[in-house]
Chains A and B, each alone.
Chain A
Amino acid sequence: MAPSILSLPPTPTSILPFGPPDHGRMPTIRTIGKVAELREELRSGGKKDKNHSAKKIALKRIVANMTMSNNDMIALFPDVVACMHIPSLEIKKMGFLYLVNYARIKPDQALKALPILVQDLNDANPLVRALALRTISYIHVREFVNATMDPLKQLLKDGDPYVRKTAAFCVAKLYDHDRNLVENSDLIDRLNTMLRDENPTVVSSALASLMDVWERSESIKLTIDYASASKIVQILPDCSEWGQTYILEAMMNYVPVDTSDASILAERISPRLSHSSSAVVLTCIRVILYLMNYISDQKVISSLCTKLSPPLVTLLSKGPEIQYLALRNALLILQRRPEILRNDIRVFFCKYNDPIYVKVTKLELLFMLANEKNINEVLTELREYATEIDMDFVRKSVRAIGKLAIKIEPAAKLCINTLLELVATKISYIVQEATVVIRNIFRKYPNQYESIIGTLCENLDSLEEPEAKASMIWVIGQYADRIENSDQLLEDFLFTFQEEPVEVQLQLLTASVKLFLHRPTKCADIMMKTLNMVVNDADNPDLRDRGYMYWRLIAHLPGNNIDIAKLIVLGEKPSITAESEKLEPATLEEMCLNIGTLVTIYLKPVQQVFRTARPRRLQDSPALQKHSLPSYQANLRDTEQRKSLALLNTSIVAPQSFMSPNRGDSYNANGGNLDAAMDAAEMYFSGLGNAQMAQMQISDAAYTGSPGTQANSPSGYFSGEQHGQRNGGQHQNNGDGDFLRF
C-alpha cells in the first residue's frame, strides 16, 4: 500500500543509501546486492581486523536497515550469529538486538545463539548478565523460555541489584510466554520474597512484575495488607519516578479495613503530589481519591481535597498531551468530588494557540464549572470562542452557551441574548448550531422566550444541516399558533420533502399534524398532503408507521373532537435538564479507580473501550463509606422516585401536584382522567431514564440531538477489528468520549 501524504513537505535528503520502506515483500535486486555486500563485510577482516572495526560497521548498517528495509536483513541470520562469539560488548549488543528482532521468524537459526546467551548469564560483569537475561527472555521460542527457567532462579538472588531488578521483570516476561510454566514453578513466591529486598528499585520492580502477572491471571490474587502497604510507602522517596508510579499503582490493591489506616496512608503519600513527574502526580491523585472512599473523617477528606487541586492545575503548564490528560481527569474528578476544583475557573480559559483537543476539553470544564456567580465571565469567554476559526470548536462553544441556559435558570436570559448576538453574525454554521440549542431552550422554558422566534425565522435560508432544519421545523410545528405565517414556512420546507433525510421528514410530519391541530380549518390540506406523501411514498417504516398513527388518530376521534388529539400530540412533555449529561454513578465510581489511564481520555466505561481489561471495583470492607458513594446515592434517589411513582398510581386523581401547573386550559375540559393517565405515563417514562426513554422521545417528537438519545446511541467504534477510516476519524474528531455532547 502506498498512502498518499499530501500535506507534508518533502523531507530533507536521507543520508542512508536505502529506499523507502514501501516496496514489495520481495527483496529487490538492489537489496539482494546489499545483503551480499554486508555478508562479505561481516566475514571480511579476519585476523587483520584487530578491533573488529569492519564487523562493527557492518553490524551497524544491518541494525540501521532492520526497521527500514522490510526484513531483508533476515538473510544474514547465520552470519550475525557467527559474530556473537566475539568478546566485544558492542558487537554483542548489536547481535542481541538483531536476535530479539528476528528470532521469532527464524527460530531454528536463533537456536544457534542460545548457548552464547546462556553462557553470558554467568558472566562476571553484572551488566552483561542483565543484558543476556533481558535478551533471552524477550525471545518467544520454546527452547529459549525453557533455558531461562533455571538460571533465572539464581539471578533473582544475584548479588547485584541491577541484575535482580532485571530478573524480577523477567518473571512477568516468562509468564507472558507460558503462564503454566510459571504457575507450576515457585517463581511467583520468589518474586514475593523480593518485596523484602534491601534495594528500593528491586522492590518496585518486583511489585510491577507481580502486578503485570496479576493483570493477566485469573488464578493469582494480589492482596496487600496494611503492614505491606506501609512498608512500600516507606520506600517511595528512594525510588525513581517510575518506581514510585509502580508502587502507587500497587497501592490500589490495598483495601483498608480501618478508616484511620486509610487516613494515615493518604497523608503519607500526599507529598508525592509535589513531584515533577505527571505520572507520579496523577497516580498519586488516583490512590488518594481511592483511599478517600474509606475515610470517615470529613476533616481529613476536606484537607486532602485542598491538596489535590493545585497539582492538577500545575499539570496545565506541561506539554499539551499531558495537559489534555490532566483536563480529562479534572472532568472526572469534578463529578466525584466537586469541592476539589472550586477555586478559579480562569485557569481553564483557552489560550489562542492551545491544540484543539485541549480547547474542547477546557470548554467542557468551563461548562461544568459555570454557576450563577461566574456566568458573566464564562459567557464572555464562550462568546469569544464562538468567533474563532475552527468550525467544530465554534459549534461546541455555541452549543455550550445554549446548554448553560438550560443548566443555570437565572442566567437563561443572558445566554439567549448571547446566542442572538451570534445569530446576527449570519455565519451559517453558527446560526444552525444556535437554532438547535434554542429549540432545547424552548423545551426547557415553555412559554417564556418565544418572542425570539421571529429572529430565528429570519435566518431560515442558512439552514442546511438536517439537525438544524429538524429543530426549526419542530419550533414551527410546536408554536404554529404564534407564528403568523407558519403554514407558509412549513409549506416551503415540504416542497423538498422527498429529498430530505428521514430525520427531517419525521419532523415535517409531526409539524404538519401540529399545525393542523393549531389551525384545523386553514391547514387541513397541508396535513393531508404530508400524510399522503408519508403513507404512500415513504420507504422508511418508522416514518410510515408514524404517519399511519397520526392518520388513524385523527380519523377516529370520538365525535371528531380535535381536543383529544391535541392532548396527545401537543401534550405537555417532561422538561429537559443538563444533569443527564453526567456519567452514570457506577461508571463514575469505576473511572475514579482508573485516574490517569487511557480510558479517562474517552470517559466511557472501561469494558466498553478495552473489552479485555480487568474490571476494577471498590472492595467492600468495614471502612468503606458506602453512604457517600455515587452509586449508593443514586440508588437512594431511584427508590424515592419509585415510591412517588407508586403514590401516583394509587392517587391518580390528583396528578396536578406533580406536574407544572401552568398548562393550557383547553383540554382540562376533556376530563381529568385521560389527562392524568398521560401524566402518569410520562412520569413513568421519565423515571426510566434509559435507552427505552430515548426511544420514547424519538417516537414522540423526534428530539434528535437531545442528550439522552445521543448518549445512549451505540456508536460501536471500539469494536475489535474495524480499522476503517471512518472509525479512526470518529475516535479522533471527538478526541474524547464527548459525553457532554456539545
Chain B
Amino acid sequence: MISGILLFNQKGENLIFRSFRSDCRPRLADIFRIQVISNVSVRSPILTLGSTTFSHIRHENIYLVAVTKGNANAAVIFEFLERVRGLGKAYFGKFDEEAVKNNFVLVYELLDEILDFGYPQNTETETLKMYITTEGVKSERGIEDTSKITMQATGALSWRRSDIKYRKNEAFVDVIEDVNLLMSATGTVLRADVNGQIVMRAYLSGTPECKFGLNDRLTLGDTDTIGPSGNRAGTKATRAAAGTVALEDCQFHQCVKLGKFDADRIISFVPPDGEFELMRYRATENINLPFKVHAIVNEVNKTQVDYSIAIKANYGTKLFATNVVIRIPTPLNTARISERVSQGKAKYEPEANNIIWKIQRFSGQSEYVLNAEATLTSMTNQKVWSRPPIGLSFSLLMFTSSGLLVRYLKVFEKGNYSSVKWVRYMTRAGHYEIRSA
C-alpha cells in the first residue's frame, strides 16, 4: 500500500514528507520534483520509475503525492488523495500552501491518524474532528470520553456521533444537476447527459433513520407513499415534472444501506450530521436542455472572422437563469473585436482568446443575439485555427434537466419527533459546449 505521502508547493519545495514504510526514502522527494514538477512535458498523474510509483493530484497551489512500491490499488490511492483534499478543505477552509505552512503539526497529525502502515483508516471528517482539532488537544479527556471516540472511529456508524441535539430538527435537500452538452456546428446533439448530486444538510437530533424517494423508475414500486412536505417546490420545478425519470446509475454515500437498495429499491440511511453528498446519479434520456445556441462563425478572409451567436432559453417564462456566461473563442492572432449584443455585456479577453458575453438574468423563453467581427493581424506563418467550441456556464434554480423530483423524505426516530424538510433544485452547466466548426 501507500509508502509515503508528500506535499509540494508549485516551486517544488517539499512541504510535508511522511513515510509510512521504510522503503520511502527522502531522496524520492527530489525525484518527484525533477521528474514531475519541473518537467514541462508531464502528461500523466502517474509516474512509475523502477518499482516506485508516484501518483499525484493537484489542488490550489499544491501537489498531493502518494508514493507506492509494487502494484498497488490505484483506485485506493486516488480516492484517498481526494479524501485528503476534502479533509484539508474541511479543516482549513482553503487547502493551499499557506494553510499547510500554518498547520504543519495538524497535517502530520491527520496523516498519522488516517493512514496506518500506508493503509487508509477512518477518514470521516466528523469523527476526526472529535479528537484532532485546530486548537490542539484541548484538555485531557476522561476515559469514557475517549472510548466514545474509539467506538465512533471503528463503529458501523463511523460517520455520526450519537449525542447530537437540535432544538428544531431540519433537513435541507439540494438537487444539483450538471448538464453536459456537446452539440455539433449543425445543431445535432452529439451527447447530452446529466451528472446529478443530491446534497443534504441534516440538522437532526439523535440517530434518525431516513427514507428517501425520487420519481425515478427504480423506486416506482411504492407509489402510495407521497411524502408530506418533501416536494414543496416540486410543482413548479420543471415541465417534465409529470412522469418518471430513468436513471442510468446511482452511487450512494457510505451511510446508505446498499443491500436494502439492491433488494427493494429503498434509499434508507442514518445521515451524518451537517452537509454531505447523499447520492450521485447519471441520466441520459429525455434531457431538457435549458439553452439552445445557434452559432455562425465565418472566416471571411485571412484577417477577418464574423460571428453571429443566438441563444434561446428553453425553460418556462416564470423561471430565470443567473450568471449566464458565453465564452466565444477567437483566433490567436486577433487584434481587435467589435461587438453588439441585444442583452448583457460582451467583452474581448485577449489573454484567454475569448469573447466573454455575460447575461446576469436570463428569463425563460427569451432569445438574445451577439454579432461580432474579429480583425486579425496577418501573420507570415499562417496556422489553421483549431476553432475550440463555444462554452456556456449558467445556473438555473427550480429546474432539473433530467426531470428528477424528490417525492418524499421521511425521518424516523423514537418519541415525539418532528422534523421540517426543504428541497431545492438547481441546474448548472457542466461541460456545455457547442462546436463552431
Binding site for B on A (CB under 8 A): 1, 3-12, 14-16, 20-21, 56, 59-60, 63-64, 66-68, 87-90, 93-94, 97, 104, 124-127, 130, 134, 138, 140, 160-163, 165-166, 169, 172-173, 176-177, 199-202, 205, 208, 212, 215, 237-242, 245-246, 249, 270-272, 274-279, 281-283, 310-311, 313-314, 317, 319-322, 324-325, 344, 346-347, 349, 351-353, 355-357, 377, 380-381, 384, 387-389, 425, 427, 594, 596-602, 606, 609-613, 718-723, 725, 727-729, 731-736
18 contacts between A and B (CB under 8 A): A3-B34, A66-B17, A67-B15, A88-B137, A162-B153, A177-B22, A240-B124, A242-B76, A242-B120, A249-B73, A274-B252, A314-B250, A349-B191, A352-B433, A357-B44, A732-B43, A733-B41, A733-B43
List, in ascending order, chain A residues with CB within 8 A of B251's CB: 274-276, 281, 311, 314
Instruction: For A60, give its contact among B45, B104, B280 (CB under 8 Å).
Output: B104
Q: Known pairs A313-B248, A321-B55; list 20 more (Cβ under 8 Å).
A: A5-B11, A8-B11, A12-B61, A89-B140, A130-B150, A177-B22, A238-B156, A246-B119, A270-B262, A271-B261, A275-B251, A279-B80, A283-B75, A319-B78, A357-B45, A387-B386, A598-B71, A602-B48, A723-B35, A735-B43
List, in ascending order, chain A residues with CB within 8 A of B437's CB: 384, 387
Q: Which residue of B lies closest to A328 (CB)?
A: B74
Binding site for A on B (CB under 8 A): 1, 9-17, 20-22, 30-31, 33-35, 37-51, 53, 55, 57, 61, 68, 70-76, 78-82, 97-98, 101-102, 104-105, 108-109, 112, 116-117, 119-124, 131, 136-137, 140-141, 143, 146-147, 149-151, 153-156, 158, 180, 182, 184, 190-191, 193, 195, 248-254, 256-259, 261-262, 277, 279-280, 282, 284, 383-384, 386-389, 391, 431, 433, 435, 437
Q: Which residue of A lies closest to B76 (CB)?
A: A279
A242-B108 in contact (CB<8A): no
Q: Which residue of B lies closest to A601 (CB)?
A: B46
> Min CB distance, A65 to chain B, in Å?
8
Instruction: For B116, give its contact among A134, A200, A239, A353 (CB under 8 Å).
Output: A134
> Min CB distance, A564 to chain B, in Å?
50
Give Cα A94–Cα B137 distance, bound, in whole angstroms: 12
> Min CB distance, B10 to chain A, in Å?
5
Residues A271 and B262 in contact in the complex (CB < 8 Å), given A349-B182, A387-B386 = yes
Give Cα A425–Cα B386 distance, bound, in whole angstroms: 11
List, in ascending order, chain A residues with CB within 8 A of B13's CB: 20-21, 68
Residues A169 and B433 in contact in the complex (CB < 8 Å), given A276-B252, A597-B73, A600-B74 = no
A317-B282 in contact (CB<8A): yes
Instruction: For A275, give its contact among B61, B151, B154, B252 (CB under 8 Å).
Output: B252
Interface centre among A11, A169, A176, A721, by most B CB within 10 Å? A11
The 4 A-B pairs with the shortest beta carbon distances in the complex, nearest first, are: A735-B44, A162-B150, A310-B249, A271-B262
B70-A613 in contact (CB<8A): yes
Give Cα A731–Cα B31 distance, bound, in whole angstroms: 14
Q: Which residue of B lies closest to A5 (CB)?
A: B38
Residues A344 and B105 in contact in the complex (CB < 8 Å), given A8-B10, A68-B15 = no
A176-B384 in contact (CB<8A): no
Instruction: For A321, give its contact among B45, B137, B261, B389 (CB under 8 Å).
Output: B45
Give Cα A349–Cα B82 distance, bound, in whole angstroms: 25
Q: Which residue of A lies closest to B44 (CB)?
A: A735
Residues A314 and B248 in contact in the complex (CB < 8 Å), given A11-B9, A166-B116 = yes
List, in ascending order, chain A residues with CB within 8 A of B387's CB: 387
Give Cα A94–Cα B55 distance, bound, in whole angstroms: 28
> Min CB distance, B427 to chain A, in Å?
15
B386-A200 in contact (CB<8A): no
List, in ascending order, chain A residues with CB within 8 A of B146's CB: 125-127
Instruction: For B70, give its contact among A324, A601, A612 (CB under 8 Å).
Output: A612
B248-A731 in contact (CB<8A): no
B14-A97 in contact (CB<8A): no
A163-B150 in contact (CB<8A): yes
Instruction: For A596, give its contact among B31, B61, B73, B182 (CB under 8 Å).
Output: B73
Q: Which residue of B lies closest to A159 (CB)?
A: B147
Residues A597 and B33 in contact in the complex (CB < 8 Å), given A349-B191, A352-B431 = no
A728-B71 in contact (CB<8A): no
B78-A314 in contact (CB<8A): no
Give Cα A274–Cα B280 distance, bound, in whole angstroms: 9
A271-B119 in contact (CB<8A): no
Give Cα A322–Cα B85 distance, bound, in whole angstroms: 14
